[in-house]
């Protein structure tokens, strides 16, 4: 190979190597440049993200501050508006024009719905309106302008009651969006010459009717007392008609302490006492009619402690005592108190320490089939007590320590089938106790330890003597005790017949 060719080949190889080196250098430079560029881009993105984040945070702080300021402003405006509405409604209620007062009632009620923080205050104002001095009905003989003015004012008062009641329904009416259950209602000293609380539910808070005067038609029909503290202490039921028919007392405390029933009609017909405590302590029944017909005592405690029945009529017709406790530690000094067809089938009914000095008390056609009925230490000194056709078929009846000093007690046509009746330590010293046509066929009637020192205890006309009572004498009965002809009743313990 000639020197020229060799030189050419060497030159070509050098050129190729140079080209390869150049390419490699460019590739390495490109990669280096790309990496630097990517780092720069990432740095730029990070700076941009940090800047955006800071701007967002600043914007959020600005928006929150503006929102808080707006809320504060709106709250202040709302408070000013509500206060202005309150002032306006209060002024309307104080107007001398009944139409303006009526507008004030609805305005205050609407404000109570809208202003939760001061709902109680608005309700207090409505109750306070009812407590304002109220002139009685001037009567039909009054001049027409006076009668019309009275009717307009009474219409406003009855509207207040309707508005309150509408907010106390268990299922609030569709046009009343807010319930007022759980609030306090103060009707102290209010004159109710009418009003409708039908179907209201007092399930929390308090309702105070202390010293209220009921002299018209007032309805508590179907009202539920299920957790509130409700008080009618010192209330007076003087005329008109007040109805608690089918009301339910299931929880909470309801008090009629020192209430006065002096006239008119008060009905607790069909009422259910299933829980809670109901008190008629020191109540006075001196006139009118009070009815507990068809009431049911199935739980809780109902107390007539130291109540006085001195006039009028009180009925417990077909009342069912199936549970709980009913206490009649009262003075029966003139009323007619009747328990016709009452059913004593559970719980405890107590007349312990009751005083029967006048008037009439009857348990005619009652049925005692369970529970306990007690007359321990009761005093019979003048009343007429009747157990006509009462059926004793179970449970316990207790006259232990009772004193029969006067009056007349009749068990005429009574039926003693099962259960226990005790006259232990009872004292017969003046009353006339009659068992005419009574039937002793299985009930354990125990007169052991009873004392017969006067009066009359007449068993002579009993129609069934197959399971006679146990008496405290061995041979001849004491004077005043009359047994059926040919009866030979020896001293024996109960249950040994």
For the whole model, what pTM was predicted? 0.82
In eight-state DSSP terms, residue 365 is T
The pLDDT, as a whole number, for residue 294 is 97
> Does the residue 157 lie in any domain?
no
The pLDDT, as a whole number, for residue 175 is 56
**Contact yes or no for 494/444 (Cβ under 8 A):** yes
Alpha-carbon gap, residue 185 to 196, rounded angstroms: 15
Whether residue 176 has pLDDT greater than 70: no
> Does the residue 185 lie in any domain?
yes
**Contact yes or no for 327/306 (Cβ under 8 A):** no
Q: How many domains does the chain have?
A: 1
Task: State the residue for tokens 């029945």.
Answer: 309
**Contact yes or no for 371/344 (Cβ under 8 A):** yes
> Does the residue 453 lie in any domain?
yes
> Does the residue 111 lie in any domain?
no
Closest-CA residue to 268 (of 333, 326, 352): 326
CA 437 to chain centre: 44
Tell me which H or E stretch contains 56.
helix 3-93
> Does the residue 378 lie in any domain?
yes
Task: State the residue for tokens 């029969």.
Answer: 404
The pLDDT, as a whole number, for residue 295 is 96
Tokens (6 digits) for 471 = 């008496």
Range of the structural domain that residue 436 is part of: 181-482
> Does the residue 475 lie in any domain?
yes
| Digit-coded pLDDT (tens) for 301-341 | 999 999 999 999 999 999 999 999 999 999 999 999 999 99
Tokens (6 digits) for 73 = 């402003």
**Contact yes or no for 223/246 (Cβ under 8 A):** no
| Digit-coded pLDDT (tens) for 239-273 | 899 999 999 998 889 999 999 999 999 999 999 99
> Does the residue 294 lie in any domain?
yes
Tokens (6 digits) for 79 = 């408070």
> Does the residue 302 lie in any domain?
yes
**Contact yes or no for 193/171 (Cβ under 8 A):** no
Average pLDDT (26-47) is: 72
| Digit-coded pLDDT (tens) for 41-82 | 777 777 787 788 888 888 888 778 777 777 776 667 888 999
Whether residue 281 has pLDDT greater than 60: yes
Environment class of 475 (CB within 10 Å of its CB; exposed 0-12, middle 13-18, buried 19+): exposed
Closest-CA residue to 438 (of 454, 461, 422): 461
Whether residue 278 has pLDDT greater than 60: yes
Alpha-carbon gap, residue 471 to 459, rounded angstroms: 12
Alpha-carbon gap, residue 404 to 242, rounded angstroms: 37
Vertex 79 angle, CA 77 and 85, to 5°: 105
Average pLDDT (88-97) is: 95
């Amino acid at each position: 190979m000639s020197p020229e060719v060799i030189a050419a080949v060497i030159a070509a190889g050098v050129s190729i190597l140079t080209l390869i080196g150049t390419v490699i250098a460019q590739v390495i430079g490109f990669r280096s440049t790309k990496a630097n560029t990517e780092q720069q881009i990432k740095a730029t993105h990070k700076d941009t993200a940090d800047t955006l984040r800071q701007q967002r945070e600043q914007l959020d702080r600005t928006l929150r501050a503006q929102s808080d300021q707006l809320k504060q402003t709106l709250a202040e405006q709302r408070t000013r508006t509500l206060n202005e509405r309150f002032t306006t409604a209060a002024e309307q209620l104080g107007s001398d024009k009944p139409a303006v007062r009526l507008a004030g009632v609805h305005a205050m009620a609407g404000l109570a719905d809208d202003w939760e923080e001061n709902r109680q205050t608005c309700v207090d104002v409505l109750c306070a309106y009812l407590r304002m001095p109220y002139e009685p009905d001037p009567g039909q003989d009054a001049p027409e302008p006076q009668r019309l003015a009275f009717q307009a004012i009474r219409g406003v008062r009855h509207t207040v009651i309707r508005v309150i009641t509408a907010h106390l329904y268990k299922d609030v009416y569709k046009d009343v969006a807010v319930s007022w259950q759980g609030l306090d209602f103060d009707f102290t000293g209010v004159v109710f010459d009418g009003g409708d609380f039908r179907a209201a539910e007092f399930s929390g808070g308090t309702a105070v009717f202390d010293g209220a005067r009921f002299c018209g038609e007032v309805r508590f029909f179907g009202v539920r007392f299920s957790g509130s503290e409700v008080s009618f202490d010192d209330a007076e039921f003087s005329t008109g008609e007040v109805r608690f028919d089918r009301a339910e007392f299931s929880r909470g405390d309801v008090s009629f302490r020192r209430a006065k029933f002096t006239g008119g009609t008060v009905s607790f017909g069909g009422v259910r006492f299933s829980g809670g405590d109901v008190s008629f302590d020191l109540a006075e029944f001196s006139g009118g009619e009070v009815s507990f017909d068809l009431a049911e005592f199935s739980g809780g405690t109902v107390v007539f402690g130291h109540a006085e029945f001195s006039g009028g009529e009180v009925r417990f017709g077909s009342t069912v005592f199936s549970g709980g406790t009913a206490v009649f530690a009262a003075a029966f000094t003139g009323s007619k108190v009747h328990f016709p067809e009452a059913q004593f089938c559970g719980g405890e009914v107590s007349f312990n320490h009751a005083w029967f000095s006048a008037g009439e008390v009857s348990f005619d056609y009652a049925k005692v089939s369970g529970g306990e009925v007690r007359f321990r230490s009761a005093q019979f000194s003048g009343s007429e007590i009747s157990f006509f056709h009462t059926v004793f078929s179970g449970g316990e009846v207790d006259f232990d320590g009772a004193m029969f000093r006067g009056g007349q007690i009749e068990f005429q046509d009574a039926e003693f089938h099962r259960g226990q009746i005790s006259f232990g330590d009872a004292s017969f010293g003046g009353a006339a106790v009659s068992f005419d046509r009574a039937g002793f066929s299985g009930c354990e009637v125990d007169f052991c330890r009873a004392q017969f020192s006067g009066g009359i205890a007449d068993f002579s006309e009993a129609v069934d003597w197959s399971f006679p009572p146990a008496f405290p004498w061995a041979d001849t009965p004491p004077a005043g005790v009359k047994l059926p002809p040919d009866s030979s009743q020896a001293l024996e313990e109960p249950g040994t017949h």
